[in-house]
Amino acid sequence: MIILALRSLYAHKLRSLLSVLGVVCGVMAVLSMISIGEGAKQKALQEIEALGLKNIYINRVALSPAEQQEAVARHVYGLSWLDIHYLEHLPDYIEHVAALRELNLQLFAAAGRVTPKIVQASPNYAGLSGLNIGSGRFLLPSDESDNRQVCVLGFDLADQLAEEGKIGSRLRVGDSLFQVVGVLAEQSLRQESPGTITPDNFNQVLFVPFSSQERRVEPGLPGTSAALSRILVSAQSAETVSSAHKLIERTLTITHNGVKDYQLVVPRELLQQSIRTQRLFNTVLAVIGGISLLVGGIGIMNIMLATVSERRHEIGLRRAVGATKKNILYQFLIEAVLLTGLGGIAGIGCGVAIILIFQEVSGWPISVTAAAMGIPFFLAIVTGVLSGLYPAIEAARMDPIEALRMT
């Protein structure tokens, strides 16, 4: 019966081709939308995972002049070592705490104008943020306790400084000389896009240690060099991040007297939210693409109804020589399914080709998965069944005597 259906479709090649174009376009639309959505999801997940799923970021927030006055009235001066002291002594959930402070200093180098971000960092900051050392070492606790003038360079910064960026060389930062003791391995950076979370570009950062005196000094007003820029907290496990987040939020609310001069960023919660959003996004895209398939299915139904009218004589002859209603039903139903099935295969092939070309030209991340190809093909088959069922039933119900008489 499949051979018979193929012969019938081949006998009307142009009509079959035109009727299947709607299905081809619909499958291409569904495949493209799902693949683009999946690529965007994977990119967002990679960026969030790069921040560390056990980590909680506490970032300093710049206050307006009126908010600063209110903060000073409440004796709140931004993120401080006192906050770190409280966080380190929380009874549960917290494993490690690290600090980061951006410095408004200039690097003087013989290589020319080099303007890296200069920061002070805790010795454990590299480990918590997933930074790898390319050569040398990172900052040590003894660097803080002994007040050593040492620094660690990002990969690109060391490359720009040439000989001055090698381990053992000395760099003038502000009014002080710092000895290079380490260079970070190159950090893989992804193209930034609106709405995504991108890790800091540590390839262009110069790290120096805190001094033992700074760790004991109370911070000054918000925005001064004494206030910490970021506190990085690592929970005991990914499962305890939510509990640690709530505990940290309660602690900071008390220590900052209700002043919201900080922002909590929890990568694990962002990851879960991103997954939920992408699922909804993919569903919406699939529905939109499904509408294209519906339009194609309506076209096939019209063609099949016209075909039934044209082939009354054939239906009458087949019924006269012993074909049953089920045989007629299956014949026309198989023809409709073959149309949409072939259209689905052609749509997947054309869709993959267009996606690869679009990815090469635009650089947009696209992921063609088995599900991205299987879902539109399945929808195409379902479209064939639904669009061919009514014409097939009409053909099966046709009275053979009347069919032969009308020809």
- Indicate the domain borders of the chain: 2-48+273-405, 62-260
Using CA atoms, how far apart are residues 25 and 27, in angstroms rounded to an integer? 6
Confidence grade of residue 10 (pLDDT, cut at 50, 70, 90): low
**99 closest CA partner among 116, 79, 80, 122:** 122
What integer is the mean pLDDT of 234-261?
Answer: 86
Mean pLDDT of 255-267: 87
Instruction: Check pLDDT > 90 for residue 51.
Output: no
Residue 343 has pLDDT above 80, yes or no: yes
27-31, 116-120, 251-255: least confidently modelled range: 27-31
**Given a cut of 50, is residue 196 above it in pLDDT?**
no
What is the average pLDDT score of the chain? 81
- 110 has pLDDT over 60: yes
Task: Provide the pLDDT confidence category of residue 288 given band limits of 50, 70 and 90.
Answer: confident
How far apart (Å, rounded) are the C-alpha atoms in residues 363 and 113? 32
pLDDT at residue 155 tops 60: yes
Give 133's strand partners. 184
d(CA 206, CA 180): 10
The answer on pLDDT for 85 being more than 60 is yes
SS3 string, the chain, reads CHHHHHHHHHHCHHHHHHHHHHHHHHHHHHHHHHHHHHHHHHHHHHHHHHCCCCEEEEEECCCCHHHHHHHHHCCCCCCCHHHHHHHHCCCCCEEEEEEEEEECCCEECCCCCCCCEEEEECCCHHHHHCCCEEEECCCCHHHHHCCCCEEEECHHHHHHHHHHHCCCCEEEECCEEEEEEEEECCCCCCCCCCCCCCCCCHHHEEEEECCHHHHHCCCCCCCCCCCCCEEEEEECCHHHHHHHHHHHHHHHHHHCCCCCCEEEECHHHHHHHHHHHHHHHHHHHHHHHHHHHHHHHHHHHHHHHHHHHHCHHHHHHHHHCCCCHHHHHHHHHHHHHHHHHHHHHHHHHHHHHHHHHHHHHHCCCCCCCHHHHHHHHHHHHHHHHHHHHHHHHHHHHCCHHHHHHCC
- Residue 100's DSSP bridge partners are 121, 230
- State yes or no: pLDDT of 354 exceeds 70: yes
- Residue 407: the pLDDT is 52
Residue 323: what pLDDT? 78
Q: How confident is the model at residue 313 (pLDDT cuts 50, 70, 90)?
A: confident
Amino acid occupying residue 221: L
Q: What is the CA radius of gyration of the chain?
A: 33
Residue 224 clears pLDDT 80, i.e. is over it: no
Calculate what percentage of the chain has a pLDDT beyond 90.
Answer: 18
Does the pLDDT of residue 87 top 50, yes or no? yes
The yes-or-no verdict on residue 319 having pLDDT over 60 is yes
Least confident of 153-157, 161-165, 329-333: 329-333
- Residue 113 CB neighbour total at 10 angstroms: 8
